[in-house]
Amino acid sequence: MLPQELDGVTLLVDVPLAGLQAGDVGTIVAITRADDGRLRYTIEIERPEGGTADGQLIDLDASQFGLD
């Protein structure tokens, strides 16, 4: 089953440039197609304790997150 908008996700990899770590959670807010034809997922990151990444948007491919 392909990920859908509003699905909850957990990052499987660190994204150091964005200050994110594997285990951070978020929600898919948009799905687009990259120039190479692959699907890209815009994830809104949530952190229960808040912090600088709370509400941050990042584009990932499906191999970088797992569905909750």
- pLDDT under 70: residue ranges of the chain: 47-54
Which pTM value belongs to this model? 0.87
With beta carbons less than 8 A apart as the criterion, state whether 30 and 5 touch.
yes
Q: What pLDDT is attached to residue 16?
A: 93
